[in-house]
A = this chain, B = another copy of it.
Amino acid sequence: MALLLEGGTVITQDAQRRALRGSVRVEGARIVAVGDVRRERGDEVLDCTGKLVLPGFVNLHTHSPMTLLRGYGDDLLLEDWLQRRIWPAEAKLTAELTRAGADLALLEMLLSGTTSFADMYFFTDSIAQASLAAGMRCWAGFPLLDFGTPECPPEQMVPRCEDFVKRWLGHPLVTPVVAPHATYTCGPGTLQQAARISRQHNVLLHTHCSETRGEVYDVQAKHGARPVEQLARNGCLTERTLLAHCGWLTKEEVRSIARAGAGVAHCPVSNLKLATGGTMPLPELLAAGTRVGLGTDGAASNNTLDVVETMKLTALLHKHHRWDPTAIPAQVALDLATRGGADALGRSDLGRLEPGAQADIVVLDAQAARMQPMHDPVSQLVYAARGTDVETVLVQGKVVVRDRIPLTLDAPRVLQRARDAAHRLVS
């Protein structure tokens, strides 16, 4: 049996026409037809009249359980924020509390149209299990840090990471990822182990890179190389690498990332909120052919997991930074949030509405006053839409949100458990 999303404005993302009036047919987990598609006998039909039909968003960098610390310590200097707020709270984490935070994040992300996310956090199995239960695609990063994590002491980290990777390899929804935290928290030994796991099991290596000036300075002072070079020296800059932030890149580093074929996650909301100062050279990275997507970062530094918001800020920030209103037009921002993120994850079958692609689809209400009139659907999506306009969400052909109601998560229960968990962390 097929599902027909009928009669909407389909965001096709092709160069000639940005959108078309038409339908999308889904069979099983896949899209089989887009455009002028007729209803067939036995089709389940979802009426999309007056709505936008688009690919699910890819959140390319987040720390999902940090929803528990949303708004806990805003507007502080980075050191105060980490030392007085975040680290003391994180020290109390357990697998159960992590799950409560991940569930809250999944609820928020699904309701705002995100269908895939690249995560990095402790108690990674809890996050993977939560994603599986919610029916959402997760690239679950197992973090490595020289000084250990609340989940495991330094000496157990690499074997447990490798064990995690082996257990989840090949799963259709949860993809294991090795996640050395950053070059200022991982010495060469840790980086080399991460590189080995990534190479040996052919899994993504997700790391923070050049987020702050201080980090670049410290890594240069300690290792005689800036973060990009330090990653490269230790085998961590390959086509399996995903670099988050990249706010302080040189032109040579842009070329080096492009040569290696690494992907990049742009997190402008977090960068502005934490005042990291640097503006990622997004046009240069795109011109160099680098695969770039958008990330929200964790909710403690954003404070939402809303890719729709991030799309708009991406377009705004780069126009502002270059005094050029033609920089990062709406179409580019939308592409980054969907196919760009998917490509950075090595998945050309996600993030687009095409025959053969996975049926990760968002149906978005376009009848709010804010969304009318509709001179240009792509402009509206990027500059006027809100995550709250998302009505229905499919992942892998399954409806996970229908008419703003989550079907795979018990919202009141998720909210109550998250409140309880947050209370335990900060009290």
Which residues between 51 and 76 of chain A lie within 8 Å of chain B, taking CB atoms? 67-72, 74-76
Which residues between 346 and 376 of chain A lie within 8 Å of chain B, taking CB atoms? 367-370, 372-376
**Chain A at the B interface: SS class:** helix
**Residues of chain B contacted by A69 (CB below 8 angstroms):** 375
Q: Flag the segment in A20-28, A117-125, A223-231, A415-423 that touches B.
A: A415-423
From B72, B108, B367, B415, give the contact of A367 (CB < 8 A). Answer: B415
A387 within 8 A of B: yes
Query: CB distance B379 to A74 under 8 Å?
Result: yes
**Residues of chain B contacted by A269 (CB below 8 angstroms):** 316
Query: CB distance B375 to A71 under 8 Å?
Result: yes
A201 within 8 A of B: no
Shortest distance between the CB of A1 and any CB in chain B (Å): 31
State A281–B303 Cα separation when bound (angstroms). Answer: 25
A78 within 8 A of B: yes
A272 within 8 A of B: yes
**Residues of chain B contacted by A219 (CB below 8 angstroms):** none
**Residues of chain B contacted by A271 (CB below 8 angstroms):** 320
Known A-B contacts A74-B379, A272-B316, A325-B76; the reply to A369 vs B426 at CB < 8 A is: no
State A156–B326 Cα separation when bound (angstroms). Answer: 38
State A309–B367 Cα separation when bound (angstroms). Answer: 19
**Residues of chain B contacted by A422 (CB below 8 angstroms):** 373, 375
Footprint of B on A, CB under 8 Å? 67-72, 74-78, 81, 104, 107-108, 111-112, 269, 271-277, 299, 302-306, 313, 315-317, 319-320, 322-327, 329-330, 367-370, 372-376, 379-380, 383-384, 386-389, 411, 414-415, 418-419, 422-423, 426
- Would you give 6 A-B contacts (Cβ < 8 Å), ordered by A? A75-B315, A272-B317, A273-B315, A274-B325, A275-B325, A388-B388
